[in-house]
Homo-oligomer: A and B are copies of this chain.
Amino acid sequence: MYLSKIRVTLRKSILDPQGKAVEHAIGSLGLLGVGEVRMGKYIELKVDSRNETAARNTTEEVCKKLLANPVMEDYHFEIEKLP
């Protein structure tokens, strides 16, 4: 059993109004020096496969077909072996 930890982020060239809103809210809290807030998605899932390569391939497919919009988003993931 493997655990995939997936981060889906907006591409640099895409505006992020949600991030901007959070940035303003942080300013209103009085916290200084925080900027360039970018919001993304974080997904964890378990993959039951015989080896890490198979788990990696399955995760790759899930990301490509379902979790990330390839026009606007990038994804990165790590695979962890569960005991």
Q: Work out how many copies of this chain go into the complex.
A: 2
Flag if B33 contacts A58 (CB, 8 Å).
yes
CB pair A35–B22 under 8 Å, yes or no, is: no
Number of residues in A with C-beta < 8 Å to the partner? 33
In chain A, residues 28-45, which have Cβ atoms closer than 8 Å to a Cβ of chain B?
A: 29, 31, 33-45
Interface residues of A in 3-35 (CB under 8 A from B): 7-9, 19, 22-23, 25-26, 29, 31, 33-35
Nearest chain B residue, comparing its CB with the CB of A35: B46
A22 CB, nearest partner CB in chain B, Å: 7
In the complex with contacts A42-B42, A66-B25, A33-B9 CB distance below 8 A: no
What's the least CB distance linking A49 to chain B, in Å? 5
